[in-house]
Structure 1
Amino acid sequence: MTATKVTLGDVSIAYRDSGGVDPIPVVLVHGMGGDGHTWDHFARSLIQGDRRVIIPDLRGHGRSAHTASYLFDEFGDDVARLCENLELTKVDLVGHSLGGYAVSRVAANDPDLVRRLVIEECPLPLRPGDTPTSMTGRFPSPPELWHAASSVLRHPRTVLAFDRSMTKSALAQFRKPNPQWWDQLSDITASTLILYGGAGGMVDPVKLEAVLAALNDCRAMRFKSGHSIHRDRYSDFEMAVLPFLMAS
């Protein structure tokens, strides 16, 4: 899969597209600090199942351009514009962490576009009245530390390409209530699978119950991993997600 760049609004976004005749492509969206290569293993499994796979690098990541603004909703807008640019009329969306937030916004803003939605370890936004939680007190588990270190060796460009200026903006957004996200949650009509980890995960169980209550067609699965299930428990991830995406 060769990277292609396209200008979407005010930013140049890089993406890879496996091509093929699949009428419902799978769009895989990475989390903050990574890039689309985090999905390479899973993409191969999807392609072997005759699925078309599209993998963007979010703004400020990978081969996509850096910008002056990194509002969370803008990441979702970029994914939606990419789908429009590629003239996609129906997609399955998979997003990890920040990518999970991005795909949730696409599914809420354009319900007719999204057939199936997978949200992996997305830190759920605060509701009005919620007490802000610290995003800095979480210590990575040994497997996460190992994978992070080895990822630097395998994909040094990922680390070098990441625009670290977005970190301050991200932390500020995590600490603010996001009533719009909660208000529009019920607009999602896609069949939805939410994946969350155990110790070291970033999904608040109380807010997760509220999400499950708001969505008509949604189930959640817990994994024995931290924040990156598809990386640290890949076999379990594939066993859960592949059948969900392959179902007619």
Structure 2
Amino acid sequence: MTDQPTHVHDSLGAPTMFVEAANGIRYAYRRFGAAGMTPLVMLPRFRGDLESWDPALFALLAETREIILFDNRGVSATSGTTPSTVAEMARDALAFFDSMELEQIDLLGFSLGGFVAQDIALIRPDLVRRLILAATAPRGGPDMHGWRKDIADAVRKDEPGPAELLYTFFKATDASQAAGGAYLRRFMARSLDRDSASSLATRDAHYDAVCEWGTPDHGALQRLRGIRQPTFVANGDADAMIPPRLSHLLGGLIPDATVKIYPDAGHGFLFQHHTEFGADVNAFLDR
């Protein structure tokens, strides 16, 4: 059973609502934007929750479409225990979609969320109309068996702060670091009804899932041939967490994919280049 739906344009004013799914999990979610078109569901990064996005990006996307965000099982305000595999996360996401009676969606997955988005598109192809894979990698791809030590140490701290986010998500240039600082100010713009931080158990389960997904497996790359949806693959040119060469690998193996690499940017390219990325996403979804 869902809370009464609300349609507000501004992400900062969207209330956190809850829905009980058939798997017994109570999911926290928000929905906002222009109702009527195919909704865009956005799946967040490692340790991500309802607050992990950029209000400036939402302002561009929500002008013409409805946006749905949710905490998957065990994350922040959603009940249950966070699973440690991407496959389980995809099944839990599908349970949420079913509870919301979503018959067709556009799907944007960022980082770990992009792993989950790939599995969703393969498990239930008729659900996903168009797919956006941001700063993410294919299952079994090379050099994805965990992150390099400095990155892993930073993002796995008990309480990572602004310094860790600037180091891991933005390039070590003046322009990129300045854009990261601006994102951090926008990131904190919502003062009321903020989502609770994800737990250390979620951190550990998410990293297990990242490592399991990234275990080298050349044969697993062939799964991408099954993604038939039009797909937009994007990344920054200096992503230290997921190298942009893996974006090109995704683009080469998904039959109907377009790849764009954004300049002077790292893992958080979609926040640094939010205006350009938002316009590119809107154009791709409207095409």
TM-score by length of 1: 0.82
C-alpha RMSD over aligned residues = 3.0
Q: Kindly state the Cα deviation for residue 213 of structure 1 after the two structures are TM-superposed.
A: 2.7
Q: State, as a whole percentage, how many aligned pairs show the same letter.
A: 21
Unpaired stretches in structure 1, ≥5 consecutive residues: none
Label 1:185 to 1:198 Cα distance change in 2 as closer, same or farther (>3 A): same
What is the distance in 1 between the residues matched to 2:150 and 2:130? 33
Partner residue of 2:277 out of 234, 237, 246: 237
- Kindly provide the amino acid, as one letter, of the partner of residue 26 in structure 2: S
Aligned to 2:62: 47
- Within the candidate set 194, 197, 202, 1:161 is matched to 197
One-letter identity of the residue aligned with 1:170? H
Look up the equivalent residue of 2:257 and give its one-letter code.
C
Counterparts of 1:53 and 1:152 in 2: how far apart (Å)?
Answer: 17
Structure-2 separation of matches of 1:131 and 1:26? 27
SS across alignment from 1:175? helix
Give deviations 1:44-84, integer Å, cap 9, x for gaps: 333321x2221112334342235153322222222222222
1:208-248 CA deviation, whole Å, 9 max, x = no partner? 3432232110011101211112222211211211111122x
- Give the structure 2 partner of residue 146 of structure 1: 181
Residues 195, 105 of structure 1: alpha-carbon distance in 2 compared, 3 angstrom cutoff: same
Indicate yes or no: 2:236 matched with 1:197: yes
Query: How much has 1:193 moved relative to structure 2?
Result: 0.4
5 Å-filtered alignment, 1:197-216, equals 197-216=236-255
Is the Cα–Cα contact under 8 Å of residues 117 and 190 in structure 1 kept in the other structure? yes
Number of paired residues?
245
Contact 1:6–1:13 (Cα < 8 Å) also in 2 = yes
Letter in 1 for 2:59: R
Partner residue of 1:171? 207
What does residue 90 of structure 1 align with? 104
Aligned-residue offset at 1:116: 0.7
How far off its partner does 1:204 sit? 3.2
Equivalent position amino acid for 1:240 in 2:
D
Q: Conserved in 2, the CA contact under 8 Å of 1:79 and 1:103?
A: no
Closer/same/farther in 2, CA of residues 242 and 201 from structure 1, 3 Å limit: farther
Specify which structure has the bigger relative contact order, considering alpha-carbon pairs within 8 angstroms and separated by 6 or more residues: 2
The CA deviation string for residues 136-191 of structure 1, in whole angstroms up to 9 with x for no partner, is: 33343435763686477546886852112233333333334275853432221110
Question: For structure 1, which segment, 84-93 or 189-198, has the greater mean C-alpha deviation from structure 2 after superposition?
Answer: 84-93
SS in structure 1 of the partner of residue 19 of structure 2: strand
Q: Secondary structure at the match of 2:62?
A: helix
Report the Cα distance in structure 1 between the residues aligned to 2:39 and 2:187, rounded to whole angstroms: 29
Mapped pair 1:36 → 2:75: no
Partner amino acid for 1:3? Answer: T
Counterpart contact for 2:180–2:272, Cα < 8 Å: no
CA–CA separation in structure 2 for the residues paired with 1:206 and 1:149: 27
CA distance in 2, matches of 1:164, 1:26: 29
Return the alpha-carbon distance in structure 2 between the equivalents of residues 245 and 134 of structure 1.
31
CA–CA distance in structure 2, aligned partners of residues 237 and 170 of structure 1 = 26
Q: Which amino acid aligns with 2:236?
A: G
Structure 2 segments unaligned to the other structure (5+ residues)? 1-13, 152-166, 171-176
Distance 1:136 1:154 in 2: 31
Give the distance between the partners of 2:205 and 2:25, measured in 1 at CA. Answer: 18
CA 205–148 in structure 1, closer or farther in 2 if over 3 Å, else same: closer
Rate the CA distance shift 1:56–1:112 in 2: closer, same or farther, 3 A: same
| Residue of structure 2 aligned with 1:110, choices 115, 124, 147 | 124
